[in-house]
Structure 1
Amino acid sequence: MTNSQNILRVDASARRAGSSSRALGDALIAKLGAEAVVSRDLAEPLPHVTEDWVHANFTDEADRSDEQRAELALSDQLVAELFAADILVIASPVYNFGIPAALKAWIDLVARARKTFLYTENGPQGLLTGKKAYVLIASGGTAIGSEIDFASGYLRHVLGFIGIDDVTIIAADQQMIRGEEALSQAIDLVAAT
């Protein structure tokens, strides 16, 4: 299937070979087809938010120094990738019941007041509306949707916070318990998407 939609793919696994979340991402990208796919591989680590970054972010755009604009340049690029995408594909493992630190760093750089959400008198309002997100999750022992899953609910919440409410989660979970069946069933779900 081909379509004219642009896809942003974010891979969060530290493993490039043998990664179940990356295998799910590959299957979904092949299924969706796309005019353009921008890939953001978080195995190439992003910087964490620093005091200088926070100060630059909360300085009015018109008042930012050249140094502050440089401090925010990568974040601005990541936000632009999100705005340009019609479909967001996040492929992530579960590390210690939650998302990898690399994915949290990406979220911290894209969840920006006045850029991807606004604070209003009625509460936060996401600015990335009209987009579809697929969250592809792989875990060794954590059952996705269980009380010890701090990854899927968090990702659904943060995506909604920035305006992406149409979120489909497909999980290859408990692979250390269920074996190859877990990944196989998840790939079947991707094929049925």
Structure 2
Amino acid sequence: MSTLLRIDTSIRADASVTRAIGDTLQSSWLAANPGGTVVRRDLAVDPIPTPAWSNAVAAAQTDEAQRTPTQRAALALAAAVADEVLAADLIVVGAPLYNYGVSAHLKTWIDLLLADARFAPGTAALTGRPLALVVARGGGYGPGTPREGWDYTTPYLMRIFAEVMGADVTLVDTELTLAEHNPAMEPLRPLAAQRLADAHQRADEVGRELAKAAVTA
């Protein structure tokens, strides 16, 4: 039996594009791997406390006997987050682009994960582990657009998950997701709809591919 860990971060709840694409990936993964288990952590609904990272770092630099209860709790939370990730055969991370970067609650989760000794830089704790990164951007950020180069989410997450943690990252992304809600983007709505459909198709394919890999592993 294999386990999919799903990390959601969108603050838009039922209107979230990354959640919807994540649902498609999860459904196709379960369809091809009916014995699989899904574990979910919703960082928008149940965020990691912001001070947890700094407290965990401080605890790691303090003799065990001198640690405060707050530091001990932060270390325990870091260990729990790390345990959850290490127990998964596949990790799916939904990451909408907020203010051109990574959401605060996703960054806090990553920082806390890296505070666990098993994920310290240089350990590459997820070497060979598949991770599907689902990214949604409200506008257009491709070559030649006014916001070309302003997507600071995707490069950062690809580097953290692939190069620092060693995961085998597959990107499923879409953009122009605000076209349906922004009158100024009305001419872009057909293109936005096509890109969203392509992302769902890609998510379906990735889910099935990773399920088959898990079954044959």
TM (norm. structure 1) is 0.85
Q: Contact 1:93/1:139 (CA < 8 Å) preserved in 2?
A: yes
Letter in 2 for 1:58: Q
The aligned counterpart of 1:121 is none
Change (3 A) 1:149 1:182: same
Report deviation, 1:143: 2.6
Q: Contact 1:144/1:152 (CA < 8 Å) preserved in 2?
A: no
Letter in 2 for 1:147: G
Q: Contact 1:142/1:148 (CA < 8 Å) preserved in 2?
A: no
- 2:17 maps to which of 15, 20, 43: 20
Letter in 2 for 1:184: A
- 2:58 maps to which of 42, 55, 58: 55
- Within 5 Å, give how 1:100-139 maps onto structure 2: 100-112=103-115, 114-118=117-121, 124-139=122-137
Q: Which ranges in structure 2 are unaligned for 5 or more consecutive residues?
A: 180-187, 207-217
Q: 2-side partners of 1:149 and 1:32: how far apart?
A: 28
| 3-state SS in 1 of match to 2:150 | coil
Structure 1 vs Structure 2 CA RMSD: 2.2
| 3-state SS in 2 of match to 1:56 | helix
The aligned counterpart of 1:143 is 141
Letter in 1 for 2:101: G
Report deviation, 1:65: 3.8
State the identity as a percent.
32
Q: Which ranges in structure 1 are unaligned for 5 or more consecutive residues?
A: 119-123
Q: Contact 2:56/2:72 (CA < 8 Å) preserved in 1?
A: no
Q: Residues 93-149 of structure 1: CA distance to partner in whole angstroms, max 9, x if unpaired?
A: 11111111111111111012622135xxxxx23122231000001111143695211
Report deviation, 1:31: 1.0
- 1:153 maps to which of 138, 152, 155: 155
Aligned residue pair count:
184
Q: 1-side partners of 2:133 and 2:2: how far apart?
A: 17
| 3-state SS in 2 of match to 1:22 | helix
Q: Contact 1:53/1:71 (CA < 8 Å) preserved in 2?
A: yes
Report deviation, 1:20: 0.4
- 1:166 maps to which of 145, 168, 177: 168
Q: Contact 2:141/2:150 (CA < 8 Å) preserved in 1?
A: yes
Q: 2-side partners of 1:64 and 1:169: how far apart?
A: 43
Q: 1-side partners of 2:164 and 2:76: how far apart?
A: 19
Letter in 1 for 2:120: F
- 1:179 equivalenced with 2:192 (yes/no): yes
- Bigger relative contact order, structure 1 or 2 (CA pairs below 8 A, ≥6 apart): 2
Report deviation, 1:21: 0.3
Q: 2-side partners of 1:91 and 1:22: how far apart?
A: 7
